[in-house]
Structure 1
Amino acid sequence: MDEARSPAAGPVSTSHGPAAPAERTMAVPALTAMVVGSMVGAGVFSLPRNFAQSTGVLGTLIAWTIAGAGMLMLAFVFQSLAVRRPHLDAGVYAYAKAGFGEYPGFLSALGYWASACVGNVTYWVLIMSTLGKIWPAMGEGSTLLAVAVSSVGLWAFHLVIRRGVREAAAINQIVTVAKLVPIVLFVVILAVSFQAGVFGDNFWGDAAGGGVLSQVNDTMLITVFVFLGVEGASVYSRYARRREDVGRATVLGFLSVLALFASVTLLSYAALPQTELGELQQPSVAGVLESVVGTWGTVLISVGVIVSVLGAYLAWTLMAAEVLFVAARDRDMPRFLSRVNAADVPVSALLMTTALVQVVLLTTLFSEDAFTFTLKLCTALSLVPYLLAAGYALRIGVRPDAGERRERGHGRELAFAALAVLYTLFLIVAAGLEFLLMALLIYAPGTVLFVRTRREAGRQVFTPVELALFVVATVGALAGVVGLATGVISI
């Protein structure tokens, strides 16, 4: 999660006022660096174990190929929408609202916000799991002590952010170095110490779960998680010297990140047997490096993880609050969420964000694998916003608005949108019913915010179509509750 979960879900201003005109001064290298910096985050440190628990080398190659192609289609979709619909600048949910109506737009905003909050829980789990290598009582980040310490940190950050702390350039630089240097060193060291025999033994993976295709299916949410935020690349278009530079930077940045993620995963199979990789404590990159170079490898990765994750958490907590704030400012969320304090921080939205992170953090006490659970739930929540955005791009490609001319490259954009829709639908199926129902446990009760928004506007709460969608969401949420109560769904 990355800052793979890029905060740039849309051109959301951190100043709550009209965005200042952007200076078009960024060339391809600078734009590419922004893309890479926004996508490489904490999730990359967890890849060896998460993949090894599902598949071997062949399955990993197939999984990264599918994920790379699918997420690149989504990147192109967001880039195209940023150019074709520049007035829709309120974030990903604006595309869902424009394409399918106010309630789907609301669900998209709610899902994206909730995904950011659940993703923030993975940060705390990863930090505590990293500290667990020194203090065993922290376990893998979900023991009572780990959750208690995480909760203290959570509310400490809340108080700091209330005072107006923003992600300064200096923090950005520290976080970027903390993310990239250990990972690049990891790739170089493992490439030099490559053990062909171990790699070959891991090639086919454990086919007991139903073969390579079944193994690949099990990795899909993992690959999406580390790419969440691919839409952030489209935001940088307003800084580019030339529009075509954005496309080049998107492709270069994305392929660079894909190569980095795939290298970390594949090279790990040349260091340890798959079964041992699957049993490593998170961050599993530390365990892999330690097996090659000794204890200092764990220290290097652990320091990188903690600095990177704390810096990213600061940014993402505020950005999650921004999602609610911008929606409230645009009258798509209740008015109280647009309230700011003297330091220009959206305090009500920040409180709701911190509260949801706390609730999800408490659920990790009952999880067998807290990091994987929150990773998959975070991804599942993001799929509806992605699907609706891709669906909107497909809709305007098939049926442009009145008076809109079809520009050159229209056929290519239409194909990208269609492939992005198919990919996100595939991901929803791959997520499985369990995580879909878990996501509905947030979507359905969260609709109370939509009801309040409509009542504030003095409007009818639901149209017939919206009511039908709400009933479906509620039935799914109730099924999720029953599943959890009976043990059919486990976390």
Structure 2
Amino acid sequence: MASQVEPKLSLPALTAMVVGSMVGAGIFSLPRNFARATGPVGAIIAWCIAGIGMYALARVFQALAQRRPELDAGVFAYARAGFGDYAGFLSAFGYWMAGCFGNVSYWVLIKSTLGAFVPAFGDGNTATAIAVSSVGIWLFHFVMLRGVKQATMINTIVTVAKVIPIIVFIGILIVLFRADMFHANFWESGDALSTGLFSQVRATMLVTVFVFVGIEGASVYSRYARQRSHVGAATLYGFAAVLCLLVMVTLLPYATLPRADIAVMRQPSMAAVLGALLGPFGTVFIGAGLIISILGAYLAWSLICAEVLFAAARMGTMPRIFAKQNERQLPVAAICLTSTVVQLFVISTYWSTDAFSLMINLTSSMALIPYFLVAAFGIKAARHDIEQGGEQHSVLRREYFIAAFATLYTAFLLFAGGAKFLMMSAMLYAPGTVLFILARRERRVPVFIRTEWIIFAVAVCGAIAALVGLITGAIVI
């Protein structure tokens, strides 16, 4: 019966899931986020690092989709297969929380955008703004309950609609390109930025992670793919398309306005850039595109979050309630928990001073450990296949080195993000382990093996250190 109602997604639909999950609030905030940290030189270096690193990660997802087709909901399943149940739980929980934080950032930016036109929304954290956002959260909740096929159809349409304003923005800035302005920003004195080039590039790394989160969208939905080969192809097609958009949105503003002016613009800075060049029309045009973009990304990410909870529960790593499905084969409890957590964090923005930046950094930090585990499993899987022998030895060795590079890249991102956000991530991982404990009790098996006790102890120590830092003021959010 399940096979009669389970939808199958085509290559364009899977590609739209990848693009839709990556192109959200992040791309509209790139001009200011980069201009505050660096100029064109640092931006070019940062995108070279991020592009090569994320390409390697995309290739790992592609290889695993082809060589491990039995592993569905990729991010969680790969970590579990490679490093055990608790690692799988940490990956699933971290990835799910990253999606929730990302969705909160969407509502924060939407409210900030509307606040420029509707005084009642203020900077996006007024009671009115939160009430309107809450209505939106639950409207999307009921859209998702209508089924994956309907939701992904809406996502495909919205993905096309939201890319159009970004392409128009790029086209306008190409027409207005000033070589002298780009040259001035390119050779701007280092004193204006007060930090060295390495520090400038490092400061952009969590931003690049945020805009690339979602690259695994097709892998997460691998069980719905019409053909297994479409999963890897959709990942690479989506990555290439989004990378081109990200680089141009970041670099072209440097050719139209001084870096210092871009660095102090109101978010969404894409709208502010076009507003400075074209007047109010530019602000309204990009603002409308942003709202469409965010709503599409919100839908895609809510679906992905629920799918990860469902897959983890189905394999016994999360409480079994999240594996229950209704007559439409939808994990209702997983969808409900996702919407509820997003609702709670949206309410918390009422007391936040810079909620958008905080949510960007938390989204990136929570996603890094799952990405690191996927890349590390790519090494393990390639090495296993090499040891088994076969005619594709050279191909496997190439996959091994690509996975090794992706692992080093994600490890560098953990370093670049800094201890502050690693400790804050531990504040979520440690108490979140209660879900893992409940799942293990349901199965009547020991909670941890010896190495897992060590990992849990590290998470608890990190959580305590973060809590002490917040209380004493050593950690400022």
Partner of 2:371: 386
Q: Residues 250 and 93 (structure 1 numbering): CA distance in 2 closer, same or farther, change over 3 Å?
A: closer
Which residue, out of 95, 104, 125, partners 1:112?
Answer: 95
Q: Residues 167 and 481 (structure 1 numbering): CA distance in 2 closer, same or farther, change over 3 Å?
A: farther
Partner of 2:174: 191
**Structure 2: 5+ residue runs without aligned partners?**
none
- Superposed CA RMSD in Å reads 2.9
Which residue, out of 56, 59, 64, partners 2:39?
Answer: 56
Q: Residues 241 and 116 (structure 1 numbering): CA distance in 2 closer, same or farther, change over 3 Å?
A: closer
Which residue, out of 358, 361, 366, partners 1:376?
Answer: 361
Partner of 1:433: 419
Which residue, out of 41, 51, 54, partners 1:71?
Answer: 54
Partner of 2:245: 260
Q: Where do 1:351-362 residues align within 5 Å?
A: 351-362=336-347
1:307-352 Cα deviation digits (max 9, x unpaired): 2222332332233122111211221211122233455432322222
Q: Residues 21 and 131 (structure 1 numbering): CA distance in 2 closer, same or farther, change over 3 Å?
A: closer
Deviates more, 1:394-403 or 1:55-64: 394-403
Partner of 1:99: 82
Q: Where do 1:265-284 residues align within 5 Å?
A: 265-284=250-269
Which residue, out of 443, 464, 476, partners 1:478?
Answer: 464
Partner of 2:283: 298
Q: Residues 347 and 255 (structure 1 numbering): CA distance in 2 closer, same or farther, change over 3 Å?
A: closer
Matches of 2:243 and 2:303, distance apart in 1: 27
**CA offset at residue 434 of structure 1?**
1.0
Identity %: 52
TM-score norm. by structure 2 comes to 0.90
Q: Residues 183 and 80 (structure 1 numbering): CA distance in 2 closer, same or farther, change over 3 Å?
A: same
Matches of 1:55 and 1:449, distance apart in 2: 41
Which residue, out of 215, 230, 243, partners 2:200?
Answer: 215
Matches of 1:228 and 1:76, distance apart in 2: 15
Asked if 1:232 corresponds to 2:217, the answer is yes
Q: Residues 250 and 444 (structure 1 numbering): CA distance in 2 closer, same or farther, change over 3 Å?
A: closer
Asked if 1:287 corresponds to 2:272, the answer is yes
**CA offset at residue 433 of structure 1?**
0.8
> Is the CA contact (8 Å cut-off) linking 2:7 and 2:148 kept in structure 1?
no
Matches of 1:341 and 1:247, distance apart in 2: 30
> Is the CA contact (8 Å cut-off) linking 1:321 and 1:350 kept in structure 2?
yes
> Is the CA contact (8 Å cut-off) linking 2:159 and 2:296 kept in structure 1?
no
Q: Where do 1:271-350 residues align within 5 Å?
A: 271-350=256-335
Asked if 1:364 corresponds to 2:319, the answer is no
Q: Secondary structure at the match of 1:89?
A: coil
Q: Residues 33 and 88 (structure 1 numbering): CA distance in 2 closer, same or farther, change over 3 Å?
A: closer
Matches of 2:473 and 2:397, distance apart in 1: 48
Deviates more, 1:428-437 or 1:363-372: 363-372
Partner of 1:181: 164
TM-score norm. by structure 1 comes to 0.88
> Is the CA contact (8 Å cut-off) linking 1:95 and 1:389 kept in structure 2?
yes
Q: Residues 439 and 34 (structure 1 numbering): CA distance in 2 closer, same or farther, change over 3 Å?
A: closer
> Is the CA contact (8 Å cut-off) linking 1:59 and 1:204 kept in structure 2?
no
Deviates more, 1:257-266 or 1:168-177: 168-177
Partner of 2:141: 158
> Is the CA contact (8 Å cut-off) linking 2:32 and 2:267 kept in structure 1?
yes
1:247-288 Cα deviation digits (max 9, x unpaired): 776555433322221111111112222222122222111110
Which residue, out of 378, 399, 408, partners 1:422?
Answer: 408
> Is the CA contact (8 Å cut-off) linking 1:237 and 1:246 kept in structure 2?
no
Q: Which amino acid aligns with 1:440?
A: A
